[in-house]
Structure 1
Amino acid sequence: MNSIVLNDFKSINEAFKKDEFLGRPKSVAFNVIMELQGFGTLSGNEWREQKRFTLYQLRNLGFGKTSMEKHINDEMTELCHRIRGLNGAPVSLRSLLGGSTSSNISALVFGNRFAYNDPNRQLLDDCIERAIRKLGQTGFITFFPSFAKLCAYFGLFGLKQVKRDFLTVNNYIKHQIEEHKRSLDENNIRDYIDAFLIEMNKTDGKSETTFTDEMLAGNVQGFFAAGTETVKTSMEWALLIIAGHQDIQKEVQKEIDIVCGQQMFPSWAHKNSMPFTQAVINEIYRWKTISPLNLLRITTDNTSVDGIDVQKDTIVIANLWAVHNDPLYWESPQQFNPNRFLTKDRKHVIKYDNLIPFSTGKRSCPGEGLAQTEIFLCFTSLLQRFTISSVNDISYEEDMGLILR
Structure 2
Amino acid sequence: MIIRPEMVAKWAPPAPAELPEVRLRLREYVLSRNYVEFAIRIDFGGGAFFPTMQGPPENTAGVGITGGMLMARREHRRLGEAQLYWVDGDMTSLALAVADIPSGEPVRARRMPAEAGLMLFAQPIGGYDLDLAASLANLGHPGVLAPGAMVMPTPIVAVSWSTWTPAHLDLDGAPGVLTWNVRTPDGPVALDYGMEGVWLTFWTTGSSGWDALPPDLELPDLAGGTTSAGRLAEFEARSRNTPLRTCDEIVLPFDKPLPDPTPDTGGQWAHVVHTAWQLMAQTGNAQLTETETLTRPRPARKRDERDGVTASGGVRLVRVHTRHRPAPDAVADDEQASHGRRAPQWTRRWPVRPYRRNTCLNSRLHATGDCEHEERIVPAHVKGPQDKPLVVTDRVNLWDTPPPEP
With normalisation by structure 1, the TM-score equals 0.26
Larger radius of gyration: 2
Query: Comparing both structures, which one devotes a greater share of its residues to helix?
Result: 1
The structure with more strand, counted as a fraction of residues: 2
